[in-house]
């Protein structure tokens, strides 16, 4: 429990760093570390498949895509951020954490509990039989993403 | 088990709020997208944490994997859009987008 809490605190710290750091490459790497920690948290929650996906896809592939984009947009660092935000962000965030700690416990009792009982079978049954429509949707989403990227990077005609 | 659930919900809410603050305050398009990713991490944690606390971890995992697949597609499309915006306006400042006409 203590290790899990430490991992969760690390996850929040690296996520906040990813937003707050000025350098974009460091931001992307912080995001990757946060994903890695989230993957380890998933492993410890008996969710190994979600953990593997989180580490390989989110910490690996998405970080590569981010770094590639940062390399292709070299002057991206030159965007001037508001200095007021750097001051206000930590204060508001800490205030929210305090409110979160006070209010969340009360909210938990009001969330209606799921009526389902304990699960049986393997993860394969849950994914392939229980969520078949989701899988079809995933294929559609991947195809939509591929076509969107193709459309965005298509060669321009001479008339354009 | 409620204590575990409380822990995950607390940190998930913190991540979502940090992402929302980033979305409100930052001006760099890539930073805005990193903030969206942080919100996504909060949602993933919420899904799997709730599944773990309610003894429904298999369905929660399936949902988390679905979300990750959608996230990849979203990231690829959004980063392609960001690169195209950069080519057109040679800047990643979100305020300059409001001035674009045509």
Reported as a single tens digit per residue, the pLDDT across A35-66 is: 999 999 999 998 999 999 999 999 999 999 99
* Count of beta carbons in the 10 Å neighbourhood of residue A155: 6
Q: Between A61, A70, A81, which is nearest B27 by CB?
A: A81
Please name the member of B9, B18, B86 whose beta carbon is closest to the beta carbon of A104: B9
Q: Report chain A residues whose CB lies below 8 A from the CB of B83.
A: 69, 72-73, 152
Does the distance separating the beta carbons of A12 and B11 come in below 8 Å?
A: yes
Residues 34-53 of B with CB under 8 A from A: 34-35, 37-38, 41, 44-45, 48-49, 51-52
Band (pLDDT 50/70/90 cuts) for residue A143 is very high
- CA angle at residue A41 from A110 to A34, to 5 degrees? 105
Q: Is B99 among the domain residues?
A: no
Q: What percent of chain A has pLDDT over 70?
A: 91
> What residue numbers bound the domain in which B66 lies?
2-93
Q: How far, in Å, are A67, B37, B83, B84 from residue B79 at the CA level?
A: 10, 12, 6, 9
Assess if residue B9 is contained within a domain. Answer: yes
Residues of A in contact with B79 (CB under 8 A): 65-66, 68-69
The answer to whether residue B28 neighbours chain A at the CB level (below 8 Å) is yes
pLDDT digits (tens, 9 = 90+) for B9-25: 999 999 999 999 999 98
More confident: A135 or B1: A135
Q: Which domain CATH number covers B71? A: 1.10.287.3510
Is the predicted pLDDT of residue A77 greater than 90, yes or no?
A: no
CA B61 centroid distance within chain: 18
Q: pLDDT digits over B11-70, tens only?
A: 999 999 999 999 998 888 999 999 999 999 999 999 999 888 888 888 889 999 999 999
> Are B34 and A27 within 8 A, CB to CB?
yes
Residue B98 located in a structural domain: no
- ipTM, two decimals, is 0.92
- Report the run of H or E that residue A147 belongs to, with start and end: helix A132-152
pLDDT band at residue A133, thresholds of 50, 70 and 90? confident
Share of chain A above pLDDT 90, in %: 51
What angle (nearest 5°) sits at the alpha carbon of residue A48, between those of residues A43 and A52?
A: 95
| Residue keyed to tokens 């409001």 | B98
The tokens 């409620």 sit on which residue?
B2
């Amino acid at each position: 429990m203590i290790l899990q809490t430490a991992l969760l605190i690390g996850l929040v710290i690296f996520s906040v760093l990813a937003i707050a750091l000025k350098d974009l490459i460091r931001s992307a790497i912080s995001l990757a570390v946060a994903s890695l920690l989230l993957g380890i948290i998933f492993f410890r929650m008996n969710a190994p498949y979600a953990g593997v996906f989180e580490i390989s896809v989110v910490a690996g592939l998405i970080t590569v895509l981010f770094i590639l984009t940062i390399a292709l947009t070299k002057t991206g660092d030159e965007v001037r951020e508001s200095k007021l935000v750097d001051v206000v962000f930590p204060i508001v965030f800490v205030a929210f954490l305090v409110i979160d700690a006070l209010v969340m416990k009360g909210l938990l009792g009001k969330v209606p509990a799921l009526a389902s009982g304990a699960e049986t079978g393997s993860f394969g049954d849950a994914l392939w039989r229980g969520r078949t429509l989701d899988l079809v949707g995933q294929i559609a989403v991947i195809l939509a993403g591929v076509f969107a990227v193709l459309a965005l990077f298509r060669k321009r005609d001479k008339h354009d | 088990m409620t204590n575990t659930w409380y822990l995950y919900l607390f940190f998930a809410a913190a991540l979502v709020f940090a992402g929302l603050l980033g979305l409100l305050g930052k001006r760099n398009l890539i930073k805005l997208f990193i903030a969206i990713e942080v919100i996504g991490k909060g949602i993933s944690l919420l899904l799997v944490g709730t599944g773990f606390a309610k003894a429904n971890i298999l369905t929660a995992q399936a949902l988390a994997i679905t979300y990750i697949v959608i996230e990849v597609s979203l990231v690829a499309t959004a980063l392609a859009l960001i690169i195209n915006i950069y080519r057109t306006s040679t800047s990643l400042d979100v305020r300059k987008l409001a001035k674009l006409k045509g």
